[in-house]
Amino acid sequence: MPAQKTLSIIKPDAVASRVIGQIIARFEQNGLELLRAELRSIDRDTAKAFYAEHAEKPFFGELIDYITSGPAVVAVVAGEDAVALHRKLMGATNPKDAEPGTIRADFAKSLTENAIHGSDSVESAKREIAIFFPAAAKEEGFLDF
């Protein structure tokens, strides 16, 4: 069975804080493999597609402004039970609630500037990987999990 995959985004605040390497090292130290990673600016159309489930919520505009505010590292990460493991490494969405030693507890600045995104389910991972890596998703089997 192919390894489970998930989408990871090291968000603009963490990129600006220069902690990319520390975050990726945590993935690798915990058995996750980086299959693909790109430092990129996320354009507004991509951000809107990515956050489509929040389109009707009052904070939607803030999400779009934030994720497009600077470069981010968008990555496909794989391993056994990758979605759950990645989410455990991230910690709670609100860094004030995150367990010590998690990425958000250590690197997040606020609920909005919370350092990292990870898919919340296998279905979300497939949708999100296809948004950011459409050609590779098909050619490299990123959607085979």
- Please give the annotated binding residues for ATP, written as ranges: 11, 59, 87, 93, 104, 114
- Residues forming the annotated binding site? 11, 59, 87, 93, 104, 114
Whether residue 54 lies in the annotated active site = no
Per annotation, catalytic residue among 117, 133, 137, 142: 117
What lies within 8 Å, CB to CB, of 127 at 6+ separation is none
Q: For every residue of the chain, which 3-state class applies, written as one string?
A: CCCEEEEEEECHHHHHCCCHHHHHHHHHHCCCEEEEEEEECCCHHHHHHHCHHHCCCCCHHHHHHHHCCCCEEEEEEEECCHHHHHHHHHCCCCHHHCCCCCHHHHHCCCCCCCCEEECCCHHHHHHHHHHHCHHHHHHCCCCCC
Q: Which residues are catalytic?
A: 117
